[in-house]
Homo-oligomer: A and B are copies of this chain.
Amino acid sequence: MQTTIYDISKKSGVSIATVSRVLNNKKGVSEKTRQKVLAVMEEIGYTPNAFARGLGLNTIKTVGIMCMDVSDIYLASAVSTLERELRHKGYDSLLCCTGANAEDKRSYLQVLLSKRVDAIILVGSHFISGGDSGYIIEAARQVPIILINGYIKGENIYCMLTDDFGLVRDAVSQLINGGHRRILYVYDTTTYSGRQKMDGYKTALTQAGIPIEEELILFCKKNLEESQEKIGQLLDQGVGFDAVVCAEDEQGVAAVKAAIERGIPIPEKMEVIGYNNSILSRCSEPGLTSIDNRVEASCMTAINTLFGVFEGKDFPDRILISGELVKRSSTKI
- B-facing mask of A80-115, CB < 8 A → 1, else 0? 110110010000111111010000000010110111
Q: Is the CB of B55 within 8 A of A138?
A: no
A116 at the interface (CB under 8 A from B): yes
Q: Is the CB of A73 within 8 A of B76?
A: yes
Closest 5 CB pairs of A and B: A71-B80, A76-B76, A51-B54, A285-B285, A95-B95
Residues of B within 8 A of A47 (CB): 110, 113-114, 142
Given contacts A55-B55, A142-B47, A283-B284, contact A92 B115 (CB under 8 A): yes
CB nearest to A260 among chain B residues: B285
Q: Which of A150-158, A159-167, A236-244, A249-257 lies at the binding interface?
A: A249-257
CB nearest to A64 among chain B residues: B92
A217 at the interface (CB under 8 A from B): no
Q: Is the CB of A284 within 8 A of B285?
A: yes
- B-facing mask of A40-67, CB < 8 A → 1, else 0? 0000010111111011001010100100
Residues of B within 8 A of A7 (CB): none
Residues of B within 8 A of A87 (CB): 96-97, 108
CB nearest to A285 among chain B residues: B285
Contacts from A to B (Cβ < 8 Å): 2, 45, 47-52, 54-55, 58, 60, 62, 65, 69-71, 73, 76-77, 79-81, 83-84, 87, 92-97, 99, 108, 110-111, 113-116, 138, 141-142, 224-225, 250, 253, 256-257, 260, 279-280, 282-285
CB nearest to A283 among chain B residues: B283
Q: How many angstroms from the CA of A206 to the CA of B111 in the assembled complex?
A: 55
Q: How many angstroms from the CA of A305 to the CA of B52 in the assembled complex?
A: 29
Max chain B Cβ within 10 angstroms of own Cβ: one of A108, A250, A279 = A279
28 A-B residue pairs with Cβ-Cβ distance under 8 Å, sorted by A, are: A47-B113, A47-B114, A48-B114, A49-B55, A49-B114, A50-B114, A50-B115, A50-B116, A51-B51, A51-B60, A60-B115, A70-B70, A70-B76, A70-B83, A71-B77, A83-B95, A83-B97, A84-B97, A87-B97, A92-B94, A92-B111, A93-B95, A224-B279, A225-B282, A250-B283, A256-B285, A283-B283, A285-B285
With contacts A49-B114, A93-B94 known, what are 17 further pairs, Cβ within 8 A?
A: A2-B142, A50-B116, A55-B55, A60-B115, A62-B115, A71-B77, A71-B79, A71-B80, A84-B99, A92-B95, A95-B95, A224-B283, A257-B285, A279-B280, A280-B283, A283-B284, A284-B285
Residues of B within 8 A of A73 (CB): 73, 76, 279
Q: Is the CB of A79 within 8 A of B84?
A: no
Residues of B within 8 A of A108 (CB): 87
Q: How many angstroms from the CA of A97 to the CA of B253 in the assembled complex?
A: 29
Q: How many angstroms from the CA of A45 to the CA of B65 in the assembled complex?
A: 22
Q: How many angstroms from the CA of A83 to the CA of B75 in the assembled complex?
A: 14
Q: Which of B49, B62, B84 contacts A116 (CB 8 A)?
A: B49
